[in-house]
Amino acid sequence: MEWQRVLNQWRILVYSLWQKNIIKLACCDLCFSAISDTITEQEMPTQRLLCTHCLNELPLFRLEQLQGDLLHWPAIIKGLPQRGFNRLLTVAPYTAPFDHWLKQLKYQGRFELAPLFATLLYKQWQHAHHIHPFDSVDLVISVPVHQSKWQIRGYNQAHLIAQRFANKLQVPYQSNLIKRVKQGDSQVGKTGAQRRRALRGNFAINDATLKHIKHVVLVDDVVTTGSTANEISKLLISLGVHTVTLVTVCISLPLSNKVK
């Protein structure tokens, strides 16, 4: 829709000004206290939305009892019967303020939330790594959206989070490894002989770039049924990847309020 496209362009402009420090955000997103008094660039260089108090009070999953892997929680295993991935790292259950924030990023173009999510993911990653070290990561990718959705929305929220998270991990990020296609779409002859693609179910993958890739981190904003992550993970593993770690901001399960 035209108005949605114009609105998103306007938001992208405001966000770019904010990134360049032309627009300053001074209030905590949750308690409205002045951030400049409570947080410094050194403390949290990539998020300016929350004061230190609210940042420390966020309802994050506690990983100590889970050996740094949410797949050790019986309620999660019950809620995600199909798990093609080997390990799951999630910041928080799909409750306030995360449910609200994720909708704002996905539908309202509130792009300043992406650095906050990447910061929280990295904090959780470091915590999990301390409890049970991750194997060395070769590549970070994000769950793709179909091109038709991308054209309407103008962006993929998982991509915005994943590229910043990869930057913090200091691991290469590839945005075009996997494409979401309509089931039955033929990729034959579309991309030339040098780009081999495997097409399984809803995804097309540029498998030539997977050579020597052993550990892939797959990033999404929220996992619900896990079927998309499962399908991508199985595809990667069938093409020679040893380990897929699924990293998401939230998990939305019927039991999610009982597992924090």
What region, left, alpha or beta, does residue 8 occupy, with left being phi > 0 and alpha being psi -120 to 50 degrees?
alpha
For position 31 contacting Zn ion by CB under 5 A, the verdict is yes
For position 28 contacting Zn ion by CB under 5 A, the verdict is yes
For position 26 contacting Zn ion by CB under 5 A, the verdict is no
What region, left, alpha or beta, does residue 131 occupy, with left being phi > 0 and alpha being psi -120 to 50 degrees?
alpha
For position 44 contacting Zn ion by CB under 5 A, the verdict is no
The CB-of-33 to Zn ion minimum distance in angstroms stands at 5
Size of the site for Zn ion (CB under 5 A): 5
The CB-of-221 to Zn ion minimum distance in angstroms stands at 23
Q: By CB under 5 A, which span of 13-21, 27-35, 62-70, 150-158 interacts with Zn ion? A: 27-35
Q: By CB under 5 A, which span of 54-62, 85-93, 190-198, 222-230 interacts with Zn ion? A: 54-62
For position 34 contacting Zn ion by CB under 5 A, the verdict is no
Peptide bond into 97 cis (omega under 30): yes
Q: Which of 39, 44, 49, 51 binds Zn ion (CB under 5 A)?
A: 51
Find the distance separating the first CA and the last CA of the chain, reported in whole Å.
Answer: 39
Helix, strand, coil percent content, the chain, rounded in steps of 5: 40, 15, 45
The CB-of-53 to Zn ion minimum distance in angstroms stands at 5
Closer to Zn ion by CB, 51 or 181: give it.
Answer: 51
Give the residue from 15, 18, 120, 104 showing the smallest Cα distance to 59.
Answer: 120
Give the residue from 197, 69, 175, 55 showing the smallest Cα distance to 129.
Answer: 69
Q: By CB under 5 A, which span of 12-20, 30-38, 41-49, 90-98 interacts with Zn ion? A: 30-38
Q: DSSP letter for 178, please.
A: E
Q: Which of 49, 54, 70, 210 binds Zn ion (CB under 5 A)?
A: 54
DSSP string, 224-259: SS-HHHHHHHHHHHHTT--EEEEEEEEE--TTGGG-
Give the residue from 120, 113, 111 showing the smallest Cα distance to 58.
Answer: 120
Closer to Zn ion by CB, 17 or 26: give it.
Answer: 26
Closer to Zn ion by CB, 86 or 119: give it.
Answer: 119
For position 25 contacting Zn ion by CB under 5 A, the verdict is no
The CB-of-51 to Zn ion minimum distance in angstroms stands at 4
**Pair 215, 242: CB distance under 8 Å:** yes
Q: Which residues bind Zn ion (CB under 5 A)?
A: 28, 30-31, 51, 54
